[in-house]
Chains A and B, each alone.
Chain A
Amino acid sequence: PRPDVSPPTPGTNLLFAQSGKIEHIPLDGYSMKKEEARTLLHVPDKVVIAVAFDCVEKMVYWSDITEPAISRVSLQGGQPTTLIKTDLGSPEGIAIDHLSRLMFWTDSIMDQIEVSKLDGSYRRVLFDEDLINPRPIVADPNNGRLYWADWNRDGPKIEMANMDGTDRTILVSENLGLPNGLTYDPLSRILCWADAGTRKVECVDPYSRYRKKVVEGIQYAFAVVSYGKSLFYTDWRREAIITIDRMAEKETDSFLPQRRSKPYGITTTYPQCPPGVNYCSAN
């Protein structure tokens, strides 16, 4: 086991990036076990932005904007591996499709969305048009769909497409500010976003397009992850992790890391993959 990796507890954990490290907080039901928060990985000279989790191999993927690079490490420890380090500008979002074993990422300098296998091979550009500041990207492996948001101040939008690049569609473009965070809940089939411009968290059903506000008056959201009836977002102003109860439509808890600096990407790690197959998983 690698000394700078401390394996998280077997249950569900929150994982978030903060100034040269990735931290984890065990979850007990929906509540954060704050006193058990630990550093998962130290990468002191890097600025980690996105974090993502592959539930099959129990690997954590992250993007670093200083190299820039996309890397991964096993939750059990071992050497981190750099997967992508050429032709990157500012990789700020990573999505994992655990069924077809692919990763997708956004880059706000190259203004692209790219795809590769989880080891970084078979890399392709999926989209290189109409992207200004693409940031969060999430996958819905069961339906072979991708969702991403672009915080372009002259026209922020949330888009979707199939994983093969077909059927690219704008899902939301009205009343958006800076949609920094995006998360998809496969069970309720709901896409939610955290917006640092409108200071709201909202959700949309991508099929019916029914849109619903969850909370408003939030501080400055950077990234968000859904877990059951909860949403957790990283807040640049409070330098904290905030819990939202999606059903009660209010903030219910917050965690202030000991170290005061902006938190970036957030995701969850969990012991079992959600059930499902898609047509790419059969190769």
Chain B
Amino acid sequence: DSTVGTSSDCQPCPCPGGATCAVVPKTKEVVCTNCPAGTTGKRCELCDDGFFGNPLGIASPKRDCKACQCNSNIDPNAVGNCDRETGECLKCIYNTEGFFCDRCKDGFYGNALASNPAEKCKSCSCSPYGTVGRETSCLQVTGQCRCLPHVTNRDCSACEPGFYNLRSGKGCERCGCNPIGSTN
């Protein structure tokens, strides 16, 4: 406040890098108006959209603003891709999820970190007849669905040899063929 007339009227802006500031008269709040590149916020304490960190080191160690780290599983045309402080990825694509878009979404399997999007996360596509409780999720890496008794294949889509009636929804039944009269 330069109108009081004392030597302490004008104080340096509490902003990094010599940024300019302004006082909001009503609240007496000081707001930085020209934060260093890549930073924003009342005190330049936040990173720009698409970046994360803790540029001033308030409440936790100082971390310079870095681009969102989401294993190439975000789209550069999207906005709000990660949390500006923690870096948590908020807009994972290619059926991935997780803090760093580092695993497949429920109902998908494969390697979320593969470089080719086609090799990332594929749908489990568990057979509804052969899967316990008609679950749609499977094991992350192998994609194995949880099969009912005597049901086989990754997606629980077939009966084990010597069993039939997948469509019962209760697992496959033994064929009960006479071993002497049957060809295999």
Q: Contact residues of A with B, CB < 8 Å?
A: 2-4, 19-20, 39, 42, 44-45, 47, 49, 65-66, 90, 92, 108-109, 133, 151, 153, 178, 180, 196, 258-262, 264
Contacts and interface: CB of A to CB of B under 8 A. Distances in A.
Contact of A180 (B31, B38, B77): B77
Tell me the dominant secondary structure on chain B's binding face: loop
B73 to A, nearest CB: 13
Which among B26, B40, B46, B78 has the highest number of chain A CB atoms within 10 Å?
Answer: B40
A153 B91 CA distance: 15
B141 interface: no
A261 B40 contact: yes
Given A19-B48, A180-B77, A44 B37 contact: no
B79 A196 contact: no
A178 B75 CA distance: 11
B79 A264 contact: yes
Interface residues of B, number: 24
Contacts of A20: 40-41, 46
Contact of A3 (B26, B46, B48): B26
B33 interface: yes
A261 B48 contact: yes
A92 B75 CA distance: 15
A7 to B, nearest CB: 16
A258 B79 contact: no
B79 A65 contact: yes
B80 A262 contact: no
A66 B48 CA distance: 12
B42 A45 contact: yes
Given A90-B80, A108-B78, 17 more contacts: A3-B24, A3-B25, A4-B24, A42-B33, A44-B32, A44-B41, A47-B49, A47-B84, A92-B79, A133-B77, A151-B77, A153-B75, A178-B77, A259-B35, A261-B37, A261-B48, A262-B49
